[in-house]
Chain A
Amino acid sequence: MQLRFEKRLHQSKIMLLAAPFIAIALSVVLSCILLVVLKKPILLTFHSFFIAPFENFYSITEIFLKFGPLLLIAQALAVGFRAKIWNIGAEGQMVIGAIAASAVPVYFVDSTSGWLLPAMIVLGALGGMAWAAIAAFLRTQFNANEILVTLMLTSIALQLLYFLLLGPWKDPMGFNFPQTVMFQDEALFPALFSGVRLNVSIIFPILFTIAVWLFMEKHYGGYKLVVGGLAPSAAGYAGFSSKKAVWGSLLLAGFAAGIAGMSEVAGPIGQLQRSMTSGYGYSAIIVAYLGALNPIGIVFAAFFLAVLHIGGDVALVSAGLPISAVHIFQGMILIFYLSAYAFVNYRLRVVQPVTQPDSAVSS
Chain B
Amino acid sequence: MPSVEPVSADSEPLLSLRNITKAYPSVVANDSINLDVHAGSIHAILGENGAGKSTLMKLAYGVVEPDSGEILWRNKPVDLRSTAAARKLGIGMVFQHFSLFETLSVVENISLTMPGSRKKLARRIAQVGADYDLHVDPAASVHSLSVGERQRVEIIRCLMQDLKLLILDEPTSVLPPQHVSSLFAALRKLRDNGVAILFISHKLEEIRALCDSATILRGGKVAATVNPNEKTAHELATLMIGHDIPQVEARANQVDLNKPLLELSAVSVKSSDPFGTDLKNINLSVHAGEIVGVAGVSGNGQQELSRLISGEHVETSAAFDCIRMMDKPVTYLGAVDRRQLGFAFVPEERLGRGAVPPMSLSKNSLLTASDKGMHRKGFLNKPRMDEFTQHCIKEFDVRCGGVEAEATSLSGGNLQKFIVGRELSLQPKLLFLSQPTWGVDIGAATAIRQRLLDLRDAGVAILVISEELEELFEITDRVYVIRSGTLSPSLVTSDVTPNDIGKYMIGEQQQASVTGGSHAT
- Chain B residues with Cβ under 8 A from A354's Cβ? 65-69, 79
From B351, which residue of chain A is reached at the shortest CB distance? A231
Known: A218-B379, A221-B378. A361 touches B79 (CB 8 A): yes
From B376, which residue of chain A is reached at the shortest CB distance? A220
What is the minimal beta-carbon distance from B74 to any residue of chain A, in angstroms? Answer: 11
The reply to whether A9 and B66 form a contact with Cβ atoms under 8 Å apart is no
Per-residue CB contact flags for chain B residues 331-368 toward chain A (1 = under 8 Å, else 0) read: 00011110100000101010011111111000100111
Per-residue CB contact flags for chain A residues 226-261 toward chain B (1 = under 8 Å, else 0) read: 010011011011110100000000000000000000
What is the minimal beta-carbon distance from A340 to any residue of chain B, in angstroms? Answer: 19
Judge if B409 is at the interface, Cβ distance under 8 Å.
yes
What is the minimal beta-carbon distance from A7 to any residue of chain B, in angstroms? Answer: 7
The reply to whether A220 and B366 form a contact with Cβ atoms under 8 Å apart is yes
Q: Interface size (A, Cβ < 8 Å)?
A: 30
Judge if A360 is at the interface, Cβ distance under 8 Å.
yes
The reply to whether B335 and A238 form a contact with Cβ atoms under 8 Å apart is yes
Per-residue CB contact flags for chain B residues 55-97 toward chain A (1 = under 8 Å, else 0) read: 0000000100111111000001111111011001100000000
CA distance A220 to B379 in the complex (A): 6
The reply to whether A10 and B406 form a contact with Cβ atoms under 8 Å apart is yes
A-B contact count (CB 8 A): 103
- Return the contact of B311 from the options A218, A231, A239, A361 (Cβ within 8 A): A239
The reply to whether A238 and B367 form a contact with Cβ atoms under 8 Å apart is yes
What is the minimal beta-carbon distance from A111 to any residue of chain B, in angstroms? Answer: 40
- Chain A residues with Cβ under 8 A from B79's Cβ? 354, 356-357, 360-363
Per-residue CB contact flags for chain A residues 327-363 toward chain B (1 = under 8 Å, else 0) read: 0000000000000000000000000011011011111
Per-residue CB contact flags for chain A residues 192-204 toward chain B (1 = under 8 Å, else 0) read: 0000000000000
Q: Which of A153-172 contact B (CB under 8 A)?
A: none
What is the minimal beta-carbon distance from B276 to any residue of chain A, in angstroms? Answer: 15
CA distance A11 to B360 in the complex (A): 13
Q: Interface size (B, Cβ < 8 Å)?
A: 52
Question: Which of the listed residues A6, A218, A237, A362 has the most CB atoms from chain B within 10 Å of its own CB?
Answer: A237
What is the minimal beta-carbon distance from B515 to any residue of chain A, in angstroms? Answer: 40
CA distance A107 to B220 in the complex (A): 78
- Return the contact of B25 from the options A6, A223, A356, A363 (Cβ within 8 A): A6
CA distance A239 to B358 in the complex (A): 19
- Chain A residues with Cβ under 8 A from B370's Cβ? 220
Judge if A40 is at the interface, Cβ distance under 8 Å.
no
The reply to whether A363 and B65 form a contact with Cβ atoms under 8 Å apart is no
- Return the contact of A359 from the options B65, B67, B78, B366 (Cβ within 8 A): B78
A residues with CB within 8 A of B? 6-11, 218-221, 223, 227, 230-231, 233-234, 236-239, 241, 353-354, 356-357, 359-363
Q: Can you report 22 residue pairs joining A to B where beta carbons are below 8 Å apart?
A: A10-B406, A10-B408, A220-B378, A220-B379, A221-B378, A230-B358, A231-B357, A234-B367, A236-B335, A237-B367, A238-B335, A238-B336, A238-B368, A239-B334, A239-B336, A354-B68, A357-B79, A359-B77, A361-B79, A362-B85, A363-B81, A363-B82
B residues with CB within 8 A of A? 25-26, 62, 65-70, 76-82, 84-85, 88-89, 310-312, 334-337, 339, 345, 347, 349, 352-359, 363, 366-368, 370, 374-375, 378-380, 406, 408-409
Known interface pairs A238-B368, A361-B85; 5 further A-B residue pairs with C-beta atoms within 8 A, sorted by A's residue number: A8-B25, A219-B380, A230-B356, A239-B312, A362-B79
Those 5 A-B pairs whose CB atoms lie nearest each other, nearest first: A239-B335, A360-B79, A239-B336, A357-B77, A363-B82
